[in-house]
Amino acid sequence: MSLKKQFLTSSLWTVSAAAFNNLSSLLVFIVLARLLTPEEFGTVAFAIAIVMLTKVLVTAGIPDALIRREQWDDRLASTAFWASVMLGGSVTLAVCAGIAPVLYFYYDQEFALVLAALSLMLVIDGLTAVHIAQLRRDFLYKVIARRSIATNIISGIVGITLALQGWGVWAMVISQLVATASTSFILWFSTPFRPAWSFSLRHLSEIGKFSSGVLGSQVLNQAGTQVPALLIGALLGPAAIAQYRVGSRSLDLVISLVIAPIQSTAVSVLGRYGTDRAGLAHAYVRLTRSCSLLACPIMLGIAAIAPDFVPLAFGAQWQEASYVLVALCLIAGPVTLGYFEAPAMNSAGRSDLTFFNSLVGSVGNIIAASLGLFFGPVGVAAALSLRAHMTMPFALHLIKLATGVKPLQAVQNILPAYAGAALMAVLVTLLRIQLSGLEALPRLLICIASGALLYPAIMLLLFRGYVKNIAQEIMPVLPVSLSRLCARI
């Protein structure tokens, strides 16, 4: 199977699994948001932000180093496995014995216990980081997709059941632990790799040469992502971070559904180009163009309907979260380009550029979030969107250094999708305002249907050639009947 077809097939499997997992997770999230108070919800969200901030220390860029290798080496992978296990255990111990006790005595006892419990996910992640890397390297995304669907169903049932029985914050904590543990257990037995009782400093040094730069950028990315939530939780309280978290959940859904699966398989594809700079540039352009066709209309469309969607889905107590979502979804353009910057620069062997890009973005996010705190969770979300647009030219300059793709070319590559989506969002917003006299539910359904019709109509009328080029790349891996239908359209 050609590399292009491997990528497209893997992307379709990953996107399909992500669609099911994220939609089912959203349903669980909605149920829990209605059953728990904002304070309870915020306590878990605050703890998860800390855990996610430390999670990158467990993998330490090791999976990326393994995926990038031309041939799989079990001896090297064994060293990587034990390194991940030791890192996972060390970080968990640091959280449980260092951070949690301080928070127990000086902040909040229940929050400290929640944090200590959730830190167990770090040990579990360390046990399967190498196994997942092998599956991704061999394009076995079908295996990952099927297993993740099963574990998602199990954890969702557990979480809702416990919440209905009055377990409060612990319903969410146990659900998170069950999801991580069951995923790791299943994926462990889905790969042929079994770690040997060996550890090589030479192999560790070989991994470290590549992963150190990746680790630095990943730490900075997580800091830029999680520090705003941490600032909200520490300075504005659990209820405020709950509003921010509920508002950002729908955006996370879109990224997990549309962008992250493509980015995940893109790491496998881009890594094969190595020193082929022209091929790497062409792949980056194709990836961002295809992604923009879906990501831009969904994100900007959600921004147009958020004031109706969030209160209806999560409850009237989450109205502020709807405006958080509006502000965050305006980041559509920078996100579409940004999620493929690190894979492209790493594949070019320029992890130093990835680090600088992450440094600017993370410091910018921390500054923006600090200034936005004066205006609450909505102010933080708006400041983060503004920061993403302001630093995008710098990121595109680094992409030019790594791949040769010029900044203007990168922007023009996604501009038709962005322009079509923006026009659709404006029209849907005007329609929602015009229908303000209707009940929220029928108004929401009318707006969603209108957006679903307007966007393809706009793209086919104004940007037909753009759509045609993308369709020609996707059609070879579609079923024959669907491929013929696309050709007729």
Q: Write the DSSP assignment of 20-36 as a string of letters.
A: HHHHHHHHHHHHHHHHS
What is the token pair recorded at 262?
């493509």
Dihedral angle over CA of 63, 67, 70, 73, nearest 10:
40
Q: Write the CB contacts of 431 (distance below 8 Å, at least 6 apart in sequence).
A: 446, 447, 450
Q: Is the residue at 364 inside a domain?
A: yes
Q: How many whole angstroms from its chain centre is CA 174?
A: 22
Rounded Cα–Cα distance for residues 130 and 78 (Å): 8
Does pTM top 0.75 for this prediction?
A: no
Q: Quick check: is 251 in a domain?
A: yes
440: its two tokens:
């929220």
Range with the poorest average pLDDT among 74-88, 174-188, 200-214, 373-387: 200-214
In a domain, 485, yes or no: no
Q: How far apart are CA 232 and CA 402, in angstroms?
A: 36
pLDDT digits (tens, 9 = 90+) for 68-111: 666 777 777 778 788 887 888 888 888 888 888 888 887 778 88
> In this structure, is residue 240 part of a structural domain?
yes
Q: Report the pLDDT value the prediction gives residue 193, as an integer from 0 to 100.
A: 75
Task: Dig out the tokens for 376 from the structure.
Answer: 């609450």
Instruction: State the distance between the two ends of the chain, measured CA to CA, in whole angstroms.
Output: 28
pLDDT at 259 over 70: no
**Cα radius of gyration (the chain):** 22
Task: Please report whether residue 484 resides in a domain.
Answer: no
- Does residue 296 contact residue 289 with C-beta atoms inside 8 Å? no
Average pLDDT, the chain: 79
Long-range contacts of 438-446 (CB under 8 A, 24+ apart): 440/308, 440/311, 440/312, 441/312, 443/308, 444/305, 444/308, 444/309, 444/312
Q: How far apart are CA 431 and CA 426, in angstroms?
A: 9
pLDDT score at 33: 77
The string of pLDDT tens digits covering residues 276-320 is 677 778 778 888 887 888 889 989 999 999 999 988 888 888 889
Whether 433 maps to a domain, the answer reads yes
Number of domains in the chain: 1
Tell me if 120 is assigned to some domain: yes
Residue 65 has pLDDT above 60, yes or no: yes
Count of all residues that appear for the chain in the document: 489
What CA–CA distance (Å, rounded) separates 31 from 109? 26
- Residue 489 domain flag: no
- The encoded tokens of residue 255 equal 């990224």
Boundaries of domain holding 378: 3-477
For the segment 226-235, the average pLDDT, to the nearest whole number, is 84
CA atoms within 13 A on the CB side of 204: 12
Does residue 480 have a pLDDT over 80?
no
Looking at 84-93, 191-200, 398-407, which range is the least confident one? Answer: 191-200
Name the amino acid, one letter, at 261: P
Number of H helices, E strands in the chain: 22, 0
